[in-house]
Structure 1
Amino acid sequence: MTTREKINASLSPRGSLETLSQREVQQLKETGSGSVYGLFRQCALAILNTGSDSDNAKTILETYPDFDIHIHQQDRGIRLELVNAPGDAFVDGEMIASTREMLFSALRDIVFTQSELEHKRVDFDSSQGITDYVFHLLRNARTLRPGVEPKMVVCWGGHSINREEYKYTKRVGHELGLRGLDICTGCGPGAMKGPMKGATISHAKQRIVGGRYLGLTEPGIIAAEAPNPIVNELVILPDIEKRLEAFVRVGHGIIIFPGGAGTAEELLYFLGILMHPDNKSLPFPLILTGPESSAPYFQQLHEFVGATLGYEAQQKYKIIIDDPSMVAREMGQGINEVTRFRREHNDAFHFNWLLKIDEHFQHPFDPTHENMASLKLTRQQPVHELAAHLRRAFSGIVAGNVKDQGIRLIEEHGPYEIRGDQEIMQPLDQLLQAFVAQHRMKLPGDTAYEPCYRVIA
């Protein structure tokens, strides 16, 4: 990364935390100056660094070692003091509005939520307790809108897709927006930005005021993939598992664009949930799509799902190639089915309570070398549990590729070892090799990819 201008600034809340009691301000100040400070500083720096070409959290932190951020108490609430902040976050000395909003969203989700947890009991030992916690975080962020008809489309895909694939995500987003649908993504670049960008134009064409561009992330991801400036609602969940649960609880349909290990992780997570017997009759549209040039990618992914999870898992999604309008029509029809189902079963439109999520998908996975080598990648288990273990394998690869802690573990101990049955390891190895050959592991322009894993049968 090149050297950039650095700016000192003082900011008051906008978008979040505008009205606080003096006691709440003091709690924020105390929490933000303790062990949580490093996490908040890292996320704040990533938000201020929006537009950078780097997806390496370690590089970003090392580029701005003198960046600092402080929480101050004042009669009207709180004030943030920034020291040596990236100059790209400012225009003529004023912080860009979207950046300012997201900065206080980070403060709300990381510092305020931690403060709340210290004074409330959260049951992390039960599936329902974890779901309740996700609900609490989303409600605190004002994400849940009771009474609004289902229209939130979750879009997953890679942050380092090529130009043709990126343009295709914009075309799909445009078609979704023309039909009045809102967009939720992981809030980063690439396939997370394109659908939002396309929808902003079509929302304007349809004179839709208040279109939603919801970004859901977590601390390890946001430091590697800064939020794109189109996001008008940012929520930072504590870990990847709660982030993924938030996607499927607030979304009414999911579209998957081309991507790499992170996209495969998301697909396996959702397929594992859909394969649970309790979700057999629950409608939830899932579409895999991309331009004609991406057809081989989806064929490889489709074959991998068939080889590991079986034919039934393949029936849980549709693959549509190079037809954005068909994608939008199919998604609209699928969401109509979701709406009818929730009316019939008295389920909320804004939070999918009836969706069964097994605890295998909810507890945080720490991608240490020991945990990665201990994954249960065998057919001697229910298929939805196999999906959970495969999801963890890809989660570890993502950590080794872009997350600060994962990168440091690889530097210290070498590549992860992923072990399992030959009939699972072989298609896994073939899929990962295809990702590397197609440059789906790193941003274009990086040096040759050095795998952070070894697949061992």
Structure 2
Amino acid sequence: MNYEVVDAKVSPEGRLRVLSKAEMAKLLDTSQSGLYPVFRNSALAVLNSGAYMDDGKELLERYPDFDIRIVEEERGIKLELKAAPAIAFVDGKMIRGIREHLFAVLRDILFVDVDIQKNPYFDLSTSEGLTDAVFHILRNADVLRARVEPRLVVCWGGHSISREEYDYTKSVGYQFGLRGLDICTGCGPGAMKGPMKGAAIAHAKQRVEGGRYIGISEPGIIAAESPNPIVNELVVCPDIEKRLESFVRIGHSIVVFPGGVGTAEEILYILGILLHPDNAEVPFPLIFTGPASAASYFVQIDDFIGRTLGIEARKRYRVLIDDPIAVARHVEQEIEGVRLFRNRTKDAYYFNWRLRIPTELQQPFKPTHEAMRDLDLHRDQAPHRLAANLRRAFSGVVAGNVKSDTIMAIQEHGPFEIHGDPEILQPLDTLLEAFVQQHRMKLPGKRYEPCYRVVV
């Protein structure tokens, strides 16, 4: 099937208007160590915004002739696009929001490679060094705002959800917006778009100027979750771990909507942090919510957490079903507690320095067949460590579902094998099977082929 494409030259939108010769060479380097493959694939995902799909491999196959090059001119740089998705253009001109996102991708990929990964100042083998790197990525993207009262709500949830669940996320976002709260999500469709859309309408009604709709992604997932049109601040982190840390460092509360395996990964990530003994006294509001039809989904999540991580983990969140106003009121009240705590401890409003994130939640996890088989899913470890290892298991399933390189590895070598204690694996297998039956692994209408096998 042929898809309509466009050739174009695009001028910069944002702060990045000039590049050095060395930077241009890096971005055009097509070798395995070069930046071109990451830049090209991430740019294609941004240009595909609005076309609903959840498969990075399918996107690459849909536009095999797409190419992006940097052209140096007297007044700066331009991007030259060939065979780009026509959906990104109106009457031959690129949509401004997509152009902003395109240059945000360029900015972040280049900054991470030159200023973070190749910089001896950052010791990425330590927890402190990794957090410092996250701080600099966010600061370079200009999302850290000093002297702004806490009001940023991080919203997690699935990109492939029912219409009823999507409408509910909009209703909750609307209540947030009426109270002047801003929204941060993974930037894609579904539960990442709904809260932003609701908040945008409420901000307009309340005449809120400068409403913030922050989207945080990473190259491995952006093709399956192209930035939605409401995102007005896009950050592309180098990996999922820095993406997740970015959420909890800049957010003042987390609200989880229905989703699938990716949402379960996010839940286990934040629980792995909140269960760490050093964070026992740090307030961090965590709410699970959805429409009445999603009540069973959260019952399953709650049961899984209780059976694997125990009662203390269940104390770190609150479940509110089918009540957007109660959710918004609770979040607003809890964020006031966060503000008072930050004041008392002299911690910044814009970056949660005090929160301790264990190194096992920060180090990038590459879900190979060997790494998935060797995961430590046994009872004889601290709950926060078990949460971290369970999070890696879910991360591997996410990669096997949507990341093109992992999908190809599974096609070649077969499904991942997941081993561990039966009392851990049985609840895990039950939850994953429930996601499959509820079509929470892939878009409805597509037959799901499991990328994993739980070996009990």
TM-score by length of 2: 0.98
CA distance in 2, matches of 1:99, 1:50: 8
Quick check: 271-280 or 24-33, which moved more? 24-33
* AA in 2 matched with 1:25: S
The answer to whether the 8 A contact 2:282-2:355 is kept is: yes
CA distance in 1, matches of 2:115, 2:431: 42
The answer to whether the 8 A contact 2:3-2:62 is kept is: no
Match of residue 27 from structure 1? 22
Match of residue 148 from structure 1? 148
Deviation, 1:3, is: 2.4
CA distance in 2, matches of 1:39, 1:167: 34
The answer to whether the 8 A contact 1:173-1:198 is kept is: yes
CA distance in 2, matches of 1:115, 1:79: 20
Match of residue 39 from structure 1? 38
- What's the secondary structure of 1:450's corresponding residue? coil
CA distance in 1, matches of 2:119, 2:72: 21
- What's the secondary structure of 1:288's corresponding residue? strand
* AA in 1 matched with 2:409: L
Match of residue 80 from structure 1? 79
Residues 114-133 of structure 1: matches in 2 within 5 Å? 114-117=113-116, 118-133=118-133
CA distance in 2, matches of 1:100, 1:32: 18
Match of residue 294 from structure 1? 294
Match of residue 344 from structure 1? 344
**Residue deviations 1:219-239 (CA, integer Å, cap 9, x gap):** 011021111010000000000
CA distance in 2, matches of 1:113, 1:379: 37
The answer to whether the 8 A contact 1:25-1:77 is kept is: no
Match of residue 326 from structure 2? 326
**Residue deviations 1:73-115 (CA, integer Å, cap 9, x gap):** 2232211111111111000001011100000000001123312
The answer to whether the 8 A contact 1:213-1:232 is kept is: yes
The answer to whether the 8 A contact 1:44-1:103 is kept is: yes
* AA in 1 matched with 2:126: S
CA distance in 1, matches of 2:128, 2:267: 23
Deviation, 1:119, is: 4.8
CA distance in 1, matches of 2:320, 2:98: 35
**Residue deviations 1:410-450 (CA, integer Å, cap 9, x gap):** 1011110001101011111110110001000001222x111
Residues 304-323 of structure 1: matches in 2 within 5 Å? 304-323=304-323
The answer to whether the 8 A contact 1:175-1:324 is kept is: yes
Quick check: 116-125 or 426-435, which moved more? 116-125
Residues 144-183 of structure 1: matches in 2 within 5 Å? 144-183=144-183
Residues 181-200 of structure 1: matches in 2 within 5 Å? 181-200=181-200
- What's the secondary structure of 1:173's corresponding residue? helix
Residues 293-442 of structure 1: matches in 2 within 5 Å? 293-442=293-442
Deviation, 1:55, is: 1.2
- What's the secondary structure of 2:441's corresponding residue? coil
* AA in 1 matched with 2:291: P
Match of residue 89 from structure 1? 88
**Residue deviations 1:347-393 (CA, integer Å, cap 9, x gap):** 00000000000101000001000000100001111110000000000
- What's the secondary structure of 1:73's corresponding residue? strand
Match of residue 262 from structure 1? 262
Match of residue 61 from structure 2? 62
* AA in 2 matched with 1:243: R
Quick check: 73-82 or 100-109, which moved more? 73-82
Deviation, 1:326, is: 0.4
- What's the secondary structure of 2:216's corresponding residue? strand
CA distance in 2, matches of 1:168, 1:362: 32
Deviation, 1:120, is: 4.9
Deviation, 1:53, is: 2.4
* AA in 2 matched with 1:102: H
**Residue deviations 1:318-339 (CA, integer Å, cap 9, x gap):** 0000000000000001100000
Match of residue 47 from structure 2? 48
- What's the secondary structure of 2:243's corresponding residue? helix
The answer to whether the 8 A contact 1:27-1:115 is kept is: no
Deviation, 1:25, is: 3.1
Match of residue 276 from structure 2? 276
Q: Give the RMSD, CA atoms, in angstroms.
A: 1.0
Percent identity among equivalent residues? 61
**Residue deviations 1:233-286 (CA, integer Å, cap 9, x gap):** 000000000000000000000000000000000000000100000000000100
Deviation, 1:12, is: 1.2
- What's the secondary structure of 1:229's corresponding residue? coil
- What's the secondary structure of 2:20's corresponding residue? helix
**Residue deviations 1:48-71 (CA, integer Å, cap 9, x gap):** 111222211111111111110001
- What's the secondary structure of 1:155's corresponding residue? strand
- What's the secondary structure of 1:367's corresponding residue? coil
The answer to whether the 8 A contact 2:111-2:137 is kept is: no
Query: Which of structure 1's runs of 4+ aligned residues deviate more than 4 A?
Result: none
In structure 2, list runs of 5 or more residues that go unmatched.
none
How many equivalent residue pairs? 451
CA distance in 2, matches of 1:157, 1:25: 40
TM-score by length of 1: 0.97
Deviation, 1:409, is: 1.1
